[in-house]
């Protein structure tokens, strides 16, 4: 048998090996524990806590994993959360936390593990102001908020709080730094993934440039993508459209808008009697997995008034909150910028790459088994079900 020809393309590295630790998505189990409006979550909690017996069961919507009489540990980082059975002592409403429910759709969640089927405590342990989460959507997406929807596997950038240990194959950063003539940070690798990561037949593929110029060009593109996707999170500046263009509220959203509409000729987005413009057509048309992001965002905010809304999920604001309009303006800008960057990302070529064989020779691949498991990050005992300390 002959050897592999030098002209035979070598398989490029997989994201699963470059960022070894991945966690499945949260499974909420009941839609009422998350909402676009934090005040609605407090109202839902109060109604549930004030109910009894069969009515409480109906409102709670029990599942095999969670019922009002089931115990659960406190979520890491939520030290005020109650751990007694909800039926015995609901306790005070925990402060809702910001989460990403759908691509580009930031909402709120009640952080109480008694209400969530699969809350992924390992993610809550490393959730802090330094953390970023990579989502394996068709075009990779990064968020500073905990993903809490049907968003696929989640890869934290850091394995420990404070950004102390990158979730990267050991040896990858020194190798890239040596090849490209300078210090390479975990965020650099994340930006490179944003620029070149693609789903492939073997899994999510991430070609690593061997050429220093291509590497730097990819980092520049990836950093722009990251800035747009973070939308000012972590103290960054909110992105803006070039040329001084920005969407404005032309007429206020009054009462409750029944539908979302778009006029391409005037670049006007209509929310009932309210209007916003200019809204570039590319922002209106921007889709993720076949769904227009703006339409999905609007649907999530009107779901509690729809005919299918029932129980606690039907409790929401009576009037359109002004804060939602502000969120909409920022979202339009984000989508317009993402649409502008899409052709550049699609056309970017990383050039000749470091093969998986080269990474194996350098000792980067395969990543050790421990790198695929959560790190031990506890600096205090966590409260388990019923107030007992958790055994971890």
Both tokens assigned to 380: 């205090």
Q: What's the confidence (pLDDT) of residue 75?
A: 94
Q: Determine the Cα–Cα distance for residues 377 and 159; give it in Å rounded to an integer.
A: 8
- Percent of the chain residues past pLDDT 70, beyond the cut: 93
Element (H, E) at 267: none
Q: Determine the Cα–Cα distance for residues 83 and 275; give it in Å rounded to an integer.
A: 46
SS3 assignment, position 219: helix
**Crossing angle of helices 322-347 and 293-302, rounded to 10°:** 160
Q: What's the confidence (pLDDT) of residue 391?
A: 43
- Among 275, 256, 255, 259, which Cα is nearest to 267's? 275
Q: What's the confidence (pLDDT) of residue 165?
A: 95
- In this prediction, the residues of the chain whose per-residue pLDDT falls under 50 are 1-8, 380, 389-392
Distances from the Cα of 330 to the Cα of 1, 212, 295, 325, 348, angstroms: 59, 35, 15, 9, 27
Beta bridge partners of 169: none
Phi, psi (5° rounding) for residue 107?
-130, -155
Phi, psi (5° rounding) for residue 375?
-80, 155
pTM of the model: 0.92
What residues have CB less than 8 Å from 354, skipping those under 6 apart? 13, 179, 208, 209, 210
Q: Determine the Cα–Cα distance for residues 212 and 347; give it in Å rounded to an integer.
A: 18
SS3 assignment, position 106: strand
SS3 assignment, position 193: helix
Q: What's the confidence (pLDDT) of residue 312?
A: 98
Q: Determine the Cα–Cα distance for residues 366 and 30; give it in Å rounded to an integer.
A: 39
Both tokens assigned to 297: 């965002």
């Amino acid at each position: 048998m002959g050897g592999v020809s030098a002209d035979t393309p070598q398989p490029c590295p997989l994201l699963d090996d470059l960022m070894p630790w991945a966690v499945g998505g949260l499974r909420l189990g009941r839609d009422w524990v998350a909402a676009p409006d934090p005040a609605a979550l407090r109202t839902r909690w109060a109604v549930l806590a004030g109910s009894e017996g069969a009515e409480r069961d109906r409102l709670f919507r029990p599942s095999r994993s969670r019922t009002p009489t089931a115990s659960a540990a406190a979520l890491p980082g939520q030290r005020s959360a109650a751990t007694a059975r909800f039926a015995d002592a609901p306790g005070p409403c925990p402060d809702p936390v910001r989460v990403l429910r759908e691509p580009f759709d930031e909402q709120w969640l009640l952080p109480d593990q008694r209400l969530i089927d699969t809350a992924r405590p390992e993610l809550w342990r490393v959730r802090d102001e330094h953390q970023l989460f990579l989502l394996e959507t068709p075009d990779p997406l990064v968020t500073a908020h905990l993903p809490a929807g049907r968003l696929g596997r989640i890869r934290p950038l850091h394995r420990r709080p404070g950004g102390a240990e990158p979730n990267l194959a050991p040896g990858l950063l020194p190798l890239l730094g040596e090849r490209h003539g300078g210090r390479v940070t975990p965020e650099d690798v994340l930006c490179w993934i944003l620029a070149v990561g693609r789903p492939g037949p073997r899994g999510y593929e991430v070609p690593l440039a061997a050429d220093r110029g291509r590497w730097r060009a990819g980092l520049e593109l990836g950093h722009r993508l990251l800035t747009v996707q973070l939308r000012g999170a972590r103290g960054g500046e909110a992105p803006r459209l070039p040329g001084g263009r920005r969407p404005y509220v032309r007429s206020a959203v009054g009462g409750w808008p029944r539908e979302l509409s778009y006029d391409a000729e005037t670049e006007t987005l209509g929310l009932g009697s309210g209007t916003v413009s200019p809204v570039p057509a590319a922002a209106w048309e921007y889709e993720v997995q076949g769904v227009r992001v703006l339409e999905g965002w609007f649907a999530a905010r009107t779901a509690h008034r729809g005919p299918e809304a029932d129980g606690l999920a039907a409790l929401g604001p009576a009037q359109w909150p002004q804060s939602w309009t502000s969120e909409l303006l920022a979202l339009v800008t984000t989508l317009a910028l993402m649409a502008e960057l899409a052709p550049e990302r699609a056309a970017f070529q990383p050039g000749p790459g470091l093969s998986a064989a080269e990474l194996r020779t350098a000792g980067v691949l395969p990543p050790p088994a421990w790198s695929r498991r959560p790190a031990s990050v506890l600096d205090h005992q966590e409260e388990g079900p019923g107030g007992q300390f958790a055994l971890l």
